[in-house]
Structure 1
Amino acid sequence: MWNELILDAHSIFRLFIGIVIISAHLTLTKKQSLTQFTSIDFIGNFILGGIIGGIIYNHSVSTFSYVVLLLAAVGMISLFNFIASRFMPARQIVKGKAVTIINHGHFVIDSLDDASSAFDMINFTEQLRSRGIFSVEDVEFAQYESNGSLTVIKKGDGSLSYVLVSKGQIVQDQLEASGQSEEWLTKELEHQGIKLEDIFFAELEGREKIYIVMNDMTARSFAFSLENSQENAEQKMD
């Protein structure tokens, strides 16, 4: 009986350690709600849960080895998230790309033909109805974001903004979704005397304005030619 109580107390102690480590990890990374989780976080949570559930009753594994394994798993999750946030190619592989379904009131054929997008029209219309939109005809723009959420703009509600640059790196999928090219963006920045590596954040607002926050947190914005923008989009479509 006493041996069983000791073993149960040991298991409870290990469970307590696991909860403390995971809670500290979520607090330090400021990810305390599901909306902040990435796909790496979800996979990591399964792994952490498997480690805790598989070891707390396995007394052949020392508590020290258990703690080291938990910390190693947390470290790997943090490392993968860091790589995905710093390097855009890795971000697209890990988090996926945004998929534009409707643009300028018309369905995007390439997105619908792409089998990997697994587009479901019935599910799409259900999501529209949940947002108070009861006809696809009323949609100006619709896009599934990389996190799986649906962004919708009704006709007459204004234009969508796109993140073109993040921490000195071009956000390729957002740039493509905006209908622009990397050459166009580079040319516009050069015209303004702005270096890509000096940009913390750049956003395309509507179709005629770019808003930029520099690394020193100063902000500026400038207009560009809508005519040139449309020409670039048409050349890209051709």
Structure 2
Amino acid sequence: MLEHIEVILRSITSFSLLLIGARFLGKQTISQMTMFDFVAAISLGAISANLAFNTSIKAHHTVISFAIYIVIIFLIAIISLKNRKGRKFLAGDPTIVIQNGKVLEGNMKKMRYTLDYLNQQLRERDVFNIEEVLFAIVETNGTLTVLKKPQYRNVTRQDLMITVMSEQRLPIELIMDGEIIKENLDQNDLSFSWLELELRKRNLTKHEVVYAVIAANGNMYVDTFRDHIHSPIDKE
């Protein structure tokens, strides 16, 4: 029974350490994982797993090892931030795989990057004809960046010289899950009375609203708990 309790406590500690480590190292480890980040994440995961269930290893030894890894990763990240050569060594360089509609087989071979995977990545970016591509670059985190030739790019309002309403701010969430977000009201000089007035214009009270947001163009979107849809498509 004592062993079960020890495993439970070690598991909670392991998860907490992983969470703290991830917060300390920042979001880049998750969203822009390079080769170095991948190795670091695996190492931290292995140490945390041993802390959770390997009772033959003293818990404080594992915690010390985890802390040392976190410090090493953090210091290397600082070096990468300050030193371009260090960053290049750890993360590598982006690699061009398509230039002016031509596949660069030599570059792909060096990365062991197959044509099947290249085509998949292109299709995910709505490209079904390689001739449309001016440049395709494999970034250091493995994603494919595609620049189409000018004649194949999407037309923008600027191209058509259509007047565009300026947007100076991000959307402002006012109500989330039925709760008024007071901080957002205060930060944008909005009052409860103003919000209640806007809801009354829509014949609503705050208790009926699950989500309310002011879009970048100034329009207010409101969603209620009762959607008044007789046959929901996604009903389970």
TM-score by length of 2: 0.56
Q: Is the 8 A contact 2:97 2:103 kept in 1?
A: yes
Q: What is the aligned-residue identity percentage?
A: 25
Aligned Cα root-mean-square deviation (Å): 2.5
Q: Which residue of 1 aligns with 2:137?
A: 143
Q: CA deviation at 1:14?
A: 1.6
CA distance 1:150–1:32, shift in 2 (3 Å): closer
Greater gyration radius? 2
Cα deviation, 1:89-141, whole Å, max 9, x if unaligned, reads: 222222121111223444447535xx422232232123222222221111111
CA distance 1:137–1:91, shift in 2 (3 Å): same
Q: Is the 8 A contact 2:13 2:52 kept in 1?
A: no
Unpaired segments of 5 or more residues in structure 1?
Answer: 159-238
- Secondary structure, counterpart of 2:126 in structure 1: coil
In the aligned structure 2, how far is the partner of 1:118 from the partner of 1:60?
Answer: 41
CA distance 1:81–1:57, shift in 2 (3 Å): same
Cα deviation, 1:134-155, whole Å, max 9, x if unaligned, reads: 2111111111111111111111
CA distance 1:52–1:27, shift in 2 (3 Å): closer
Q: CA deviation at 1:27?
A: 1.5
- Secondary structure, counterpart of 1:124 in structure 2: helix
Q: In structure 1, what residue type is equivalent to 2:7?
A: S
Q: Is the 8 A contact 2:14 2:49 kept in 1?
A: no
> How many matched pairs?
152
In the aligned structure 2, how far is the partner of 1:128 from the partner of 1:41?
Answer: 25
Cα deviation, 1:24-62, whole Å, max 9, x if unaligned, reads: 121123228732333333222222222232344444433
Q: Which residue of 2 aligns with 1:25?
A: 21
Q: In structure 1, what residue type is equivalent to 2:111?
A: S
Cα deviation, 1:148-199, whole Å, max 9, x if unaligned, reads: 11111111139xxxxxxxxxxxxxxxxxxxxxxxxxxxxxxxxxxxxxxxxx
Q: Which residue of 2 aligns with 1:45?
A: 41
In the aligned structure 1, how far is the partner of 2:77 from the partner of 2:7?
Answer: 31
Q: Which residue of 1 aligns with 2:119?
A: 125
Q: Is the 8 A contact 1:31 1:37 kept in 2?
A: no
In the aligned structure 1, how far is the partner of 2:27 from the partner of 2:57?
Answer: 30
TM-score by length of 1: 0.55
Q: In structure 2, what residue type is equivalent to 1:41?
A: D
- Secondary structure, counterpart of 2:21 in structure 1: helix
